Amino acid sequence: MVVVDSQSPPKFGDYEAQRHWMEITLNLPVLEWYRNSTGNDLSYWGLDYPPLTAYQSYFHGLFLRFFDPDSVSLFTSRGYETYVGKLLMRWTVLSSDTLIFFPAIFYFAFVYHSSCHSSRKNDCAWHIAMLLLNPCLILIDHGHFQYNCISLGLTVAAIAAILSQRELLASCLFTLALSHKQMSVYYAPAFFSHLLGKCLRRKNPIHGVAKLGLTVLGTFTVVWWPYLHSTDALLGVLSRLAPFERGIYEDYVANFWCTSSVIIKWKRLFSVHSLKFISLTATVLTCLPSMVQQVMAPSSRGFLYGLLNSSFAFYLFSFQVHEKSILLPLLPASLLALEERRPFKWLMFYGLFSMFPLLCRDKLVLPYFALHALFMLLYHAPCGHGGRPRNARPNNTKFDYFDSFKTFMNGFIYLSSFILHIVYLTMHPPEKFPYLFEAIIMLICFYQFALLAFYTNVKQWSLLEHSTTEEEKKLI
């Protein structure tokens, strides 16, 4: 299905940043891209993604220069916004999506459904629709303007490669994803632990680890080659990738630090340095259970859960998390959509909700509601079995009370969230608390994310007990 390009005006933020990167990479030599100079003023939307983004900007810049040279000329094109320029930029995102993300999804769907003997054509089609028509991704990439489709596409291809036992290919692809956006590091613990677990089970673990290590290092060298001649250049790039001085959180993202800052004022109590250490420890500790499970009993299904858990851990506890980072846990949740239908729907709903204030600022309210509605309609498609769990447990009267309470709570929170949408759009917050509504949205979303993260961690650990069941044998 074709992705509908939302025709809203591009934002001066990310749109201008991407255009500026095309300008810089086209007109300046490679070594200057991350260095402050007269040609490249880093305080004006300096490059803060790894080199693969820079190379991609270069290619897109070539495309733009062919059709509209004024949009990428050095200095004079700052703030350049014409109809043709906007159209070309949107086409670069659309083409990246179609050329990288879509094939990766098809590869994954092919591998996943060929190994899952009980899957039907309906389920496969439903699954692909859920993956490709991810409203969050569409709104962020095509509305807000970013290139997440490339790094996510590479990651999905890497995941598919792991599922089809091509580990070297997987590590190569994941390294490329990491070199495109450093946020892909959210998935790194899962990849690492799964591959390590797999290697340890083989006859010659050191050999396996060495092969993987060499692939990773080799790919890194190829991509980062221009910056490897001196430590200065390398550190210059790395320092751009991790802007710690921006603080532990910004705006109102539904993660632990921002939500708890309502009570504990982290920024006031601790310095940036100590906060770095605290958040690192918290992230590692939250990742640990999932990593340990994979090292002990690596499996394809466990790997998918591991991805979900490690990305959740990073989202909830990492440094400088954006609202847009909810895309990262959403990806493995969509990959697992057939196994975890309701949690997937929850996560999508609350992920979109957590981005609602951001999208309102971007004037994407209509696309938000239209795409959200489209997603819900496709989820509950009459031909599929949306909403019903695949392996439904037989009804047990003992749990009825708890189930109905859960249903009531869920329904209540859904309704409150829906009402909050309307309230946010129509009412003004009180003078004393200008960000009251954002804070309430953040609290609700954090509560849901925390619950889901806990649930998926438990689910992954429960796989250890079932490590010899049929399902496991089918998927390995």
Partner 1 sequence: MESSSSTRQLLWFFAIAVCVKLLLIPAYHSTDFEVHRHWLALTHSLPLSNWYADETSPWTLDYPPFFACFERFLSIFAHYIDPQIVDLHNGLNYRANSAIYFLRISVILSDLWLLYGVYRLTKNADVKRRYLIWVLIVWSPALVMVDHLHFQYNGFLLGWLLLSISFLQEGKDLMGGFLFAVLLCFKHLFAVAAPVYFVYLLRHYCWKGLVRGFSRLSVLGAVVVAVFAAAYGPFLYHGQIQQVFNRMFPFGRGLCHAYWAPNFWVFYIILDKVFSFFLKKFGFSIQIPAASFTGGLVGDSSPFAVLPKVIACNRLKQYLKKKKKTQWTWCKFLTT
Residues near partner 1, by CB under 8 A? 4, 6-8, 366-367, 369-371, 373-374, 377-378, 380-382
Nearer to partner 1, 24 or 136 (CB): 136
Q: Which is nearer to partner 1, 116 or 138 (CB)?
A: 138
CA separation for the pair 351, 362 (Å, rounded): 17
Least distance CB 363 / partner 1 (angstroms): 9
- 370 or 443: whose CB is closer to partner 1? 370
Q: Which is nearer to partner 1, 343 or 367 (CB)?
A: 367
- Asked if 110 and 368 count as a contact pair (C-beta separation under 8 A), the reply is no
Contact 116, 164 (CB under 8 A): no
Token digits of residue 37: 């100079």
Burial 126-142 (b: 16+ CB within 10 A, else e): bbbbbbbbbbbbbbbbb
> For residue 453, which of 306, 264, 275, 276 has the smallest C-alpha distance?
306
* Least Cβ distance, residue 19 to partner 1 (angstroms): 22
Cβ 89 to partner 1 shortest distance, Å: 17
CB of 9 to partner 1, least distance (A): 9
Which residue, 5 or 41, has its beta carbon nearer to partner 1? 5
Q: Within 13 Å, how many C-alpha atoms sit on residue 200's CB side?
A: 12
Q: Least distance (Å) from partner 1 to the CB of residue 366?
A: 6
| Long-range contacts of the stretch 367-376 (C-beta < 8 A, 24+) | 367/6, 367/8, 367/138, 367/139, 367/143, 368/135, 368/139, 371/133, 371/135, 371/138, 371/139, 372/135, 374/133, 374/135, 375/130, 375/133, 375/134, 375/135, 375/348
Beta carbon of residue 141, minimum distance to partner 1 (angstroms, whole number)? 15
Give 269 or 366: the residue with its C-beta nearer to partner 1. 366
Phi/psi class of residue 93: alpha, beta or left (left: φ > 0; alpha: ψ in -120 to 50)? alpha
Report the residue number, 91 or 110, with the smaller CB distance to partner 1. Answer: 91
Nearer to partner 1 (CB atom), residue 3 or residue 163: 3
- Helix, strand, coil content of the chain in percent (nearest 5): 75, 0, 25
Can you list the alpha helix ranges (DSSP code H) found in 203-297?
A: 205-224, 231-241, 256-260, 266-269, 272-296
Least distance CB 455 / partner 1 (angstroms): 30
CA-to-CA distance for 413 and 406, rounded, in angstroms?
11
- Find the shortest distance in angstroms from Cβ 1 to partner 1: 10
